């Protein structure tokens, strides 16, 4: 992966509204993956191959306009580079790096809050109430994933967060996998709900 691939990843994340984790792009080292060329433009890697007489393999999918990433590469990024007078791919890659740094700092803070708020009975809503939304939702996200919730969406996360930030005695939040998050006696808990079958 090159700097251009990173820029495409950031644009995809922005377009899908996937949040900061997605807009932060790919990590240079994310075991088992290593991406040593993530800061190098694609044109440079191609020029290096040509200079060395190396024929790079090109994935045929990279020429298929039915894929969103290919259209970003061939239509959107060139247009942005033209309209904004160049440097867009590098700017998007810098933005991704800045967001990764911010996310890592927030994740570290969220880990400390998770330890304070967590326990076998769930999360202490009182501990979470005092925290900023960005940290609180990171704690809730981690807890829900550890509780077995799969296919967690932003809507699910915000609904569970409302059990803390907008608590008014409301009922639980239904989650994928026949699970329900609810608030009881000042704590958030996840319970399994029985599957209902038609007669």
Same domain (yes/no): 84, 162:
no
pLDDT at 119 over 90: no
- What pLDDT, on a 0 to 100 scale, did the predictor assign at position 199? 41
CATH number at 172 reads 3.30.465
Tell me what pLDDT residue 21 has.
Answer: 84
Looking at the fold, whether 122 and 39 belong to one and the same domain comes out as: no
Which H/E stretch holds residue 8? helix 3-16
| CA 7 – CA 88 distance, rounded (Å) | 8
CATH code of residue 87: 3.40.50.620
Distance, CA of 50 to CA of 56 (rounded, Å): 9
**What average pLDDT score do residues 21-43 get?**
93
Asked if residue 110 is part of any domain, the answer here is no
Residues 147, 86: one domain? no
Query: In this structure, are 50 and 134 located in the same domain?
Result: no
**Chain segment 34-80, per-residue pLDDT in tens:** 999 999 999 999 999 999 999 999 899 989 999 999 999 999 999 99
* Domain enclosing residue 140, as ranges: 118-192
Helices (H), 60-175: 68-71, 77-83, 88-117, 125-129, 133-146, 154-165
Q: Does residue 113 lie in a domain region?
A: no
**pLDDT class of 196 with cuts at 50, 70, 90:** low
Does 111 fall in a domain? no
Q: Domain for residue 106, yes or no?
A: no
- Residues 130-184 have pLDDT tens digits of 999 999 999 999 999 999 998 999 999 999 999 999 999 999 999 999 999 999 9
Q: How far apart are CA 149 and CA 18, in angstroms?
A: 18
Tell me what pLDDT residue 120 has. 64
pLDDT at 195: 65
Contact 149, 156 (CB under 8 A): yes
């Amino acid at each position: 992966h090159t700097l251009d691939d990173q820029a495409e990843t950031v644009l995809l994340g922005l377009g899908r509204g996937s949040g900061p984790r997605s807009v932060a792009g790919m990590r240079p080292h994310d075991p088992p993956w290593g991406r040593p060329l993530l800061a190098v433009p694609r044109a440079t890697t191609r020029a290096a191959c040509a200079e060395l007489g190396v024929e790079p393999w090109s994935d045929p999918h990279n020429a298929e306009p039915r894929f969103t990433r290919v259209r970003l590469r061939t239509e959107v990024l060139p247009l942005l580079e033209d309209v904004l007078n160049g440097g867009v791919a590098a700017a998007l890659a810098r933005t991704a790096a800045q967001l990764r740094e911010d996310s890592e700092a927030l994740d570290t803070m969220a880990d400390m809050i998770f330890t304070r708020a967590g326990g076998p009975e769930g999360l202490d809503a009182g501990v979470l109430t005092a925290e900023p939304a960005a940290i609180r939702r990171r704690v809730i996200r981690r807890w829900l994933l550890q509780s077995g919730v799969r296919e967690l969406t932003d809507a699910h996360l915000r609904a569970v967060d409302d059990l803390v930030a907008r608590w008014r005695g409301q009922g639980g939040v239904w989650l994928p996998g026949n699970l329900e998050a609810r608030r009881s006696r000042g704590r958030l808990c996840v319970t399994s709900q029985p599957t209902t079958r038609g007669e």
